[in-house]
Homo-oligomer: A and B are copies of this chain.
Amino acid sequence: MPDERTEARRRRIPEATVVRLPVYQRLLAELLRAGQPTVSSEQLAAMARVNAAKVRKDLSLLGSFGTRGTGYDVAFLIAQIERALGVGLDWPVAIVGIGNLGRALVNSEGFSSHGFRVVALFDVVESVVGHEVGPTVVHHIDRLPEVAAELHPSIGVIATPAGAAQEVADALVTAGVGAILNFAPKVLSVPSDVLLRYVDLSIELQVMSFYQSRRAEAGGAQVPPIRAFGLSLSPEGSAR
């Protein structure tokens, strides 16, 4: 059978590429604002601080959108990336744990600017439950099932202490979310059809302390702190 896809490559997109797409998108939006009509892989690569071949390979996975000799049309490329990322679809988000972190998330540029709708907030602390935070009121976590049944969040964010995280994850899964973003420093267990990603501050810090110690040693001098050198780490995009 001769199936030429009308468009849209069905190719599998590697996770590493998926993580870079939002970065490209952000940079392209800057170029668009600056009124630049086209961009080369070279220029985009410089902005994203990655290799130009990587940019071309990443973009080619979405389809052949470039013009040889010219580069990519900025506006068109943005549209293609947004389509791949599902921008424009509706992604209702529930956030559990309305401490400083939860509050930071509610008000974050990350949500508002990309069409993620915060539809429900939960906590257990009496002084928080019932209060307005950002666009909604905070419910008690016990009401998660009923509230979720009504609002159908498709992404759940866990911003609780580690001790509560698994329990919350279970509740979110039961409530039907398809993806969980976990900020608690805890390995979680969820069914394999639920997407789970971690953002873990303490891991990031410890990774830094690992490389800093190594470097201090390698530089031969000094105890931990300041201004030792010798090794060049951060080869390139640690854009995680």
Contact = CB atoms under 8 A, between A and B. Distances in A.
A106 B234 CA distance: 25
B231 A110 contact: no
Interface stretch (A67-75, A121-129, A138-146, A222-230): A222-230
Given A185-B26, A193-B232, A204 B199 contact: yes
Given A90-B231, A108-B201, A110-B201, 12 more contacts: A7-B235, A21-B206, A22-B203, A86-B210, A109-B161, A114-B206, A177-B226, A178-B227, A193-B232, A195-B234, A196-B234, A197-B240
Number of copies: 2
A190 B49 CA distance: 11
Given A154-B224, A192-B234, A209 B89 contact: yes
Contact of A198 (B91, B101, B209, B239): B239
A135 B114 CA distance: 35
A154 B212 contact: yes
Interface residues of A, number: 97
Interface string A1-41: 00001111010010100110111011100000000000000
